[in-house]
Structures are given as C-alpha cells and as structure tokens.
C-alpha cells in the first residue's frame, strides 16, 4: 500500500468556533457556531482535538470520505530508511485485526516522502470515521506478525522495482531538483533497510507519530455540520480511549517545508535493455514570488495546466500525440509544491515506432516555444471555457481533499473557489506567456532519457 507522489502540497480557511472541555478523561468536545456553510467549500474547523480538521460539505455525495494524515513521511524519518512505510503497514494490520470484518474495499493507506495517509469511504459515516481513526490504536501485534508484515513490505519493494526499472534514476532526479539528499530517499526503503526493521523500533515510531492529536482529519460528507460534528466527537471519544497514552509531550506543528533551490541543469541518458519502449522524464522547478495572491496564482496554474494538457495543436499533449504519435503515454503535471515553488513534471513513454531522439526534440522544441505562445483568441477562449465549466460543475479538484493537503504541506492559504473563478475569467494570453517565460527555462531543467534496446 504505497503510492508515489513526488510532492504534494496542502491548503485552509477559518471559522469561528468555541471549545469546551468535558469531565470525562480529557475529551474535547468542540462546538461550532451554526453558520450556513455553502456546499463544496473547504472549511477549517478550529477548536477540534485534531491537529486540524477540515470539513467539506458535498450535498450530493453518496458516501462520507474520511482521510487522516500524519505529517511524517520518509523526509522526516531519521531512523532506518523506509520505516514510515513499514509503520503504515503495521497500523493497517493492527486496525484490521481489531475489527470484525475484512478491510472495506474503499479503504486505503499510503506513505509519501512527506506524509502518511489513511482513508476510508462509506455510506455509513460512523464507519468511515472509525476506520481511519483505528490506525492510531496502540499496536497490539505479536513479533511474528510484525516480521510477517516485514516480508510483505519486502515483496512490495521487489514488485515495485520490477515494475519500474527506472525508479532509481527518477529518485535521483528528485534529489537533484530539490538539492536535498533526503529527497533521494525512496519511501519504500531498500532491501538492506527493510531487513533491518525491528519490531520495537516500529512500535515506538508508531506511538510517536500516530497520535490522534497529530492527525489532520479531512471529512468530505453529505452530512450537515451539526451532524458531522456529532459524528466526529463520538469517533474521537471512542478512538482516544484506545490510544497509547494520552499524556504525551506537547505537540508543535512541523517546520515550514522549504528546500534549497537549484539553478543547474541535469541531463542523463541511459540504456535499459529490458524495457520495450524508450521513455523520458522531465522536471522543471521554478521559484515563485512568495507574496503572490494565492487565488490568482492558482487560477494561472490551473489554466496553464489545462493549456499544456490540451489535445489541439496548441497544447503539449496535442503536439506530442498528433505529431506522428511520438508518445504513447504521457503524464504531465504542473503544481505548486510549496508557497514558493512551482513544479512541472513530464513522464512519457515513446511509441514503438518513434526514436527517442525525435520525441526528445519535439518536447524540447515545444517547451522553448512556450514563451512565444500565440494562439487564436477563440482557441484560448475555448480552453478557458472548458476549465471554468469543469470547476463550476464541481467535477474538478477545487472541492476535493487535494487542496487541504496542499495547505498542510505548503502552509498555503486555501484558495477561494469564487475568487479563483473570477481570476480565471480575467486571465489573458499575456499572463500565460509571462508564466512560461519565467518557468520554462532550460537552465533549470532536469531530463532523464531512458533508451530501450
Ligand atoms: Zn505498502
């Protein structure tokens, strides 16, 4: 159960809430003021017992989705390489052991460089909440169960490496782009480090990192706040009695996440005889002005991203696919990774008839021309219109947990949906040209070409 996310960012907004302490144990019951919350707005609930609580009211959602995040991933791990991922596995095993039925099909857990995630969806909100909070329960596993889980983690490593033979190269690219050795650490660990996992070390790490009040809870639900609040209170009360101990040292939020910036270039080209088609990775990191208006900037990134993804002759996807089908699969992503960093990543497999050299030329030429972008106004309006329509009907990520994740990691304010929509309306081709001319410069680019034989 592992999902490789290079870096995610996270987002929030505020609401007025009062806090009340109840008699029993030290359960915090939090009471919200009854303000009307508009559908699909991410609301940060203050006064909750969690490190943070985010409520997203989605009236037409058929189920409740709960996600619990601990900001502890491989990046923060100073113990054996891969330990947070191992701890995640143990938490899941422990949670499953202590519930009556097998793991629900919509439950998931994964560990990235920055965080560990547990999620659960259910038409019964109590169930979704209980499922995610159960991962904080004290580990009550026998040593032989822990060792058995270590074998699973080892097999997962072997499976992943077989599946992605260029994994090391990609990880090195991450380290280069961020100029940070820790970014070279793969959350999966290495065969040597996995063999070195010891049960007491894992139990201690779980106890330190998986405390309820260190968790960020995100709730997407069709339930109104009054009801959701009750559900959260009940779930917290139940889960907190099954915690390790309630008297842990005070918790302080993790440091602001920043990474040194690279001005250099990286170009690697290697041959991997066992793969069928050539592929390449490209990363471009840009430092952005930190006092930028988050709504306007989000609008710009969304539009730039849609432009790049466009399948017409103007977009990058269009240029790559329609030019003799040079590329078979393409994964293109533009995102803010912290309050001051923008990252463009491209990951593509060439089609079997295309030479790697041809694909490479097309990609680089496209990027170099972006700063001169000039498309007919109706085309520009079409791309903008599609984006606006998607955001307005709520099918896009503005109402998902993604934005909360962004705020948590990047310490960014949560963009406001209405303001983003207004900002998109106002964008011009000039804005895109400016962004691209700052962002897509060959001096800050990492490319890795992997040639099939
Ligand atoms: Zn896993």
Residue, of 270 and 324, whose pLDDT is higher: 270
> Which three-class secondary structure state does DSSP give residue 19?
strand
Tell me the CA–centroid distance for residue 103 and ligand 1, in Å: 15
Tell me the CA–centroid distance for residue 31 and ligand 1, in Å: 37
pLDDT at 160 over 90: no
Tell me the CA–centroid distance for residue 340 and ligand 1, in Å: 31
Angle between helices 417-426 and 294-309 (to 10 degrees): 60
Helix, strand, coil percentages in the chain from 3-state DSSP, rounded to 5 = 45, 20, 35
* Residue 190 and residue 68 in contact, taking contact as beta carbons nearer than 8 Å: no
* Residue 153 and residue 86 in contact, taking contact as beta carbons nearer than 8 Å: yes
Give the CA distances from residue 433 to residues 209, 312, 369, 437, 442, in Å, rounded to whole numbers and listed in that order.
Answer: 44, 18, 10, 6, 16
Dihedral angle over CA of 135, 209, 54, 178, nearest 10: -120
CA–CA separation, 181 and 113 (whole Å): 12
Enumerate residues 6+ apart whose C-beta is below 8 A from 141. Answer: 90, 93, 94, 97, 149, 199
CA–CA separation, 449 and 27 (whole Å): 55
Would strands 116-122 and 108-111 be described as parallel, antiparallel, or unpaired?
antiparallel
pLDDT at 417 over 90: no
- Listed in order, the ranges of the chain carrying CATH 3.30.830.10 are 17-240, 266-452
Tell me the CA–centroid distance for residue 6 and ligand 1, in Å: 16
Tell me the CA–centroid distance for residue 156 and ligand 1, in Å: 6
Tell me the CA–centroid distance for residue 135 and ligand 1, in Å: 15
The pLDDT, as a whole number, for residue 89 is: 96
Residue, of 73 and 382, whose pLDDT is higher: 382
Tell me the CA–centroid distance for residue 199 and ligand 1, in Å: 17
Range list of β-strands (E), 273-385: 279-287, 327-338, 341-350
* Residue 67 and residue 217 in contact, taking contact as beta carbons nearer than 8 Å: yes
**For residue 398, which of 119, 42, 64 has the smallest C-alpha distance?**
42
The pLDDT, as a whole number, for residue 14 is: 21
Tell me the CA–centroid distance for residue 409 and ligand 1, in Å: 21
* Residue 28 and residue 93 in contact, taking contact as beta carbons nearer than 8 Å: no
* Residue 68 and residue 215 in contact, taking contact as beta carbons nearer than 8 Å: yes
Tell me the CA–centroid distance for residue 415 and ligand 1, in Å: 32
* Tokens, residue 258: 């920043």
* Residue 43 and residue 15 in contact, taking contact as beta carbons nearer than 8 Å: yes
Tell me the CA–centroid distance for residue 188 and ligand 1, in Å: 8
The topology under which CATH files domain 17-240 is Cytochrome Bc1 Complex; Chain A, domain 1 (3.30.830)
Tell me the CA–centroid distance for residue 401 and ligand 1, in Å: 21
pLDDT at 439 over 90: no
Tell me the CA–centroid distance for residue 382 and ligand 1, in Å: 42
Tell me the CA–centroid distance for residue 271 and ligand 1, in Å: 29
CA–CA separation, 381 and 234 (whole Å): 49
What region, left, alpha or beta, does residue 325 occupy, with left being phi > 0 and alpha being psi -120 to 50 degrees? left
Q: What is the mean pLDDT of the chain?
A: 76
* Residue 161 and residue 49 in contact, taking contact as beta carbons nearer than 8 Å: no
Tell me the CA–centroid distance for residue 130 and ligand 1, in Å: 21
Q: Residue 410 — pLDDT band, cuts 50, 70, 90?
A: low
pLDDT digit string, tens, across residues 204-252: 999 999 998 888 898 888 999 999 999 999 999 888 877 655 444 444 5
pLDDT at 282 over 90: no
Tell me the CA–centroid distance for residue 219 and ligand 1, in Å: 24
Tell me the CA–centroid distance for residue 153 and ligand 1, in Å: 6
Enumerate residues 6+ apart whose C-beta is below 8 A from 364. Answer: 442
pTM above 0.75, yes or no: no
Mean pLDDT of all residues in 337-364: 77
Tell me the CA–centroid distance for residue 385 and ligand 1, in Å: 40
53 strand-pairing partners: 45, 217
pLDDT digit string, tens, across residues 13-59: 222 222 222 222 333 445 443 444 555 566 777 778 888 888 888 88
pLDDT digit string, tens, across residues 392-408: 876 555 545 556 666 66
- CATH number for 266-452 (one of 3.40.50.1110, 3.40.50.620, 3.30.830.10, 3.30.70.2740): it is 3.30.830.10
pLDDT digit string, tens, across residues 65-119: 899 988 888 877 888 899 999 999 999 999 988 776 655 556 889 888 778 999 9
Tell me the CA–centroid distance for residue 150 and ligand 1, in Å: 10
The pLDDT, as a whole number, for residue 91 is: 95
Tell me the CA–centroid distance for residue 360 and ligand 1, in Å: 34
Q: Which long-range contacts link 321-329 to residues 24+ away (Cβ below 8 Å)?
A: 323/362, 324/353, 324/354, 324/358, 325/351, 325/353, 325/354, 326/350, 326/351, 326/354, 326/358, 326/359, 326/362, 327/351, 327/354, 327/359, 328/277, 328/352
The pLDDT, as a whole number, for residue 400 is: 54
């Amino acid at each position: 159960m592992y999902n490789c996310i290079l870096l995610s960012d996270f987002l929030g907004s505020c609401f007025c809430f009062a806090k009340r302490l109840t008699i029993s144990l030290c359960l915090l019951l939090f009471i919200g003021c009854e303000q009307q919350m508009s559908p699909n707005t991410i609301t940060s609930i203050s006064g909750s017992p969690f490190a943070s609580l985010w409520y997203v009211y989605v009236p037409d959602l058929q189920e409740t989705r709960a996600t619990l995040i601990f900001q502890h991933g491989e990046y923060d791990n100073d113990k054996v390489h891969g330990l947070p991922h191992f701890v995640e596995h143990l938490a899941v095993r422990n949670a499953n052991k202590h519930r009556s039925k097998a793991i629900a099909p919509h439950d998931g857990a994964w560990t990235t460089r920055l965080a560990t995630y547990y999620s659960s969806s259910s038409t019964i909100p109590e169930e979704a909440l209980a499922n995610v909070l159960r991962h904080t329960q004290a580990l009550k596993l026998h040593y032989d169960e822990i060792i058995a889980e270590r074998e699973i983690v080892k097999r997962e490593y072997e499976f992943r490496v077989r599946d992605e033979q260029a994994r090391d190269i990609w990880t090195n690219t991450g380290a280069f782009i961020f100029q940070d050795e820790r970014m070279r650490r793969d959350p999966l660990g290495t065969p040597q480090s996995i063999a070195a996992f010891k049960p007491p070390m894992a139990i201690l790490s779980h106890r330190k990192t998986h405390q309820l009040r260190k968790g960020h809870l995100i709730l997407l639900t069709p339930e109104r706040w009054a009801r959701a609040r009750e559900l959260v209170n009940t779930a917290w009360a139940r889960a907190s009695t099954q915690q390790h101990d309630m008297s842990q040292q005070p918790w302080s939020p993790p440091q602001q996440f920043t990474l040194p910036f690279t001005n250099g270039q990286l170009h690697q080209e290697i041959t991997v005889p066992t793969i069928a088609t050539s592929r390449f990775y490209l990363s471009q990191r840009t430092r952005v002005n930190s006092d930028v208006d988050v709504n306007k900037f989000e609008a710009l990134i969304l539009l730039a991203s849609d432009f790049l993804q466009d399948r017409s002759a103007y977009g990058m996807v269009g240029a790559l696919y329609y030019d003799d089908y040079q590329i078979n699969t393409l994964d293109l992503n533009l995102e803010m990774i912290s309050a001051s960093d923008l990252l463009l990543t491209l990951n593509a497999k060439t089609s079997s008839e295309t030479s790697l050299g041809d694909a490479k030329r097309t990609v680089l030429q496209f990027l170099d021309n972006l700063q001169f972008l000039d498309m007919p106004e109706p085309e520009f309006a079409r791309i903008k219109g599609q984006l606006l329509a998607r955001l307005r009907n709520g099918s896009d990520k503005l109402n998902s947990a993604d934005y909360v994740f962004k705020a948590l990691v990047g310490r960014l304010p949560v963009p406001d949906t209405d303001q983003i929509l207004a900002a998109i309306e106002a964008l011009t081709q000039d804005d895109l040209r400016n962004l691209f001319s700052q962002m897509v410069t060959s001096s800050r680019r990492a490319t890795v070409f992997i040639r099939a034989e």
